[in-house]
Structure 1
């Protein structure tokens, strides 16, 4: 890799921090991954260079465990990841959950009832440390949801003490309007966010976000927020970008993210995260 391969200044003209960050936190879809959902050879090269410098790269994503298995080898196969919007800290090498921020069963049932009353037609699914389960009408047309091993039934029958994310879906509402209605109905009980192009609200335990879990992890590692650089593209990344000392919205990011982040990185289709990291670390 040569310096001529990457830009020497941020896309927005920002000045690089005086010292390289000690930890990188990056979202995956729409951020580190290309439009094909894969890690490019250039991005893989940059991640390897950071590994050789002992710089932790923490993948901070809304994806559940089940959507990560095909990616681990591509991104190094070790280290820690924050999954399900902060619900899980995952040890990649051992394929095990290190920490889980679960939602109590009674809270799940109450929140579902409140949201159904506020927006009739809402259906639900559950992401757990142990897998996935859904109501019969929750997006059955998506093949990823129809594995015969996934339990299907009434929400009240599916909840247990291993749930880290409640998924709320509506087939007729617009995405951001549904998020607004969900926040008004249940935001006093849980954390709601949105990261999909579809009408899907992601619900975590009260106060649980990508940022809260990363802050705890950085505390364990003795790393200050001022030493963290973070990348994201969707509203569920806003707490993360607000918390990190150096925040980058992708060029392709949602308008709310572009308006909030400190800096802009090139488009995810152009290896924006990797190009920015190459500049920051002088690769």
Structure 2
């Protein structure tokens, strides 16, 4: 059965290492658009990093960002759905993590932008941002709470934080460093994609999904057909039903061209 909807991660999946979308991938996305097949970008990127690819979202005009915390209506430039962490819960989680793993530093993503603690080591793309203690930064609901550690290996840190927080929040990881992405309880790429698909009348079995990192696992498990990229995290390769060529080799586009006989 030919899928009715495409859901794809961006970094390490659809987008090349230099941040570009190749001409070939552009042509495949355009061909799917012409056939009326929706393509939804489902990314851990915050809104401020996703806007650069909005020209490729197609007529559906929706993007799922911040690991499912926000569904953005591109044409209207407005949120369609927000699934945020309450301020009280965010502060409680910070206390739990600090007690369990000393040395943790925090940053926040809201609908209005990014801010971080003074000792948080920022990403090169973050630019200048407000710096203050976490108690001052959490003054509204958060799309994402970020926690990082400069001494622990990434997956060790993930395991310790996940154990400490339990079901208080959803903790995932998609970085090469010990940087964790924390969402409201039950909020994942999959749970938000399911809500969007329900509105569109598309069943999980009719979705083909692509990803490369642990934050993609829920989506790949949920979708009827799933592809891990060739250089994906081992847990993603083990989870997905198929393997796609690397993102550097236009893996998503090449698979779609075959599946839809483009």
Tell me if both proteins adopt one fold, taking TM over 0.5 as the criterion: yes
Any conservation in 2 of the 1:39–1:74 contact (CA below 8 Å)? no
Query: What's the counterpart of residue 156 of structure 2?
Result: 177
Any conservation in 1 of the 2:39–2:58 contact (CA below 8 Å)? no
Any conservation in 2 of the 1:26–1:231 contact (CA below 8 Å)? yes
Q: Quote the offset at 1:59 in angstroms.
A: 0.2
1:95-153 deviation per Cα after TM superposition (whole angstroms, max 9, x unaligned): 2211110101111011001101111110000011111111111114x443342xx3221
SS at match of 2:187: coil
Query: What's the counterpart of residue 219 of structure 1?
Result: 198
Q: Given the superposition, is the C-alpha separation of residues 40 and 75 from structure 1 closer, same or farther in structure 2, using an over 3 Å criterion? A: farther
Give unpaired runs (5+ residues) of structure 2. none
State the alpha-carbon separation in 2 of the partners of residues 118 and 280 from structure 1.
47
Q: Given the superposition, is the C-alpha separation of residues 255 and 143 from structure 1 closer, same or farther in structure 2, using an over 3 Å criterion? A: closer
Tell whether 2:32 aligns with 1:50.
Answer: yes
Q: Quote the offset at 1:193 in angstroms.
A: 0.3
Any conservation in 2 of the 1:138–1:169 contact (CA below 8 Å)? yes
Q: Quote the offset at 1:78 in angstroms.
A: 6.0
State the alpha-carbon separation in 2 of the partners of residues 70 and 282 from structure 1.
29
Structure with the greater alpha carbon radius of gyration: 1
Tell whether 2:180 aligns with 1:201.
Answer: yes
Tell whether 2:115 aligns with 1:133.
Answer: yes
Any conservation in 2 of the 1:50–1:56 contact (CA below 8 Å)? yes
Any conservation in 2 of the 1:72–1:78 contact (CA below 8 Å)? no
Any conservation in 2 of the 1:62–1:84 contact (CA below 8 Å)? yes
Q: 2:3 aligns with which of 5, 21, 34?
A: 21
Q: Given the superposition, is the C-alpha separation of residues 157 and 81 from structure 1 closer, same or farther in structure 2, using an over 3 Å criterion? A: same
Tell whether 2:155 aligns with 1:145.
Answer: no
Give unpaired runs (5+ residues) of structure 1. 1-18
Query: What's the counterpart of residue 116 of structure 1?
Result: 98
Q: Quote the offset at 1:92 in angstroms.
A: 1.3
Q: Given the superposition, is the C-alpha separation of residues 219 and 75 from structure 1 closer, same or farther in structure 2, using an over 3 Å criterion? A: closer
**How many residues end up aligned between the 2 structures?**
262
SS at match of 1:32: coil
| Backbone CA RMSD of aligned residues | 1.3
Q: 2:208 aligns with which of 216, 229, 235?
A: 229
1:222-276 deviation per Cα after TM superposition (whole angstroms, max 9, x unaligned): 1100100000000000000000000110111000100111111111111000000
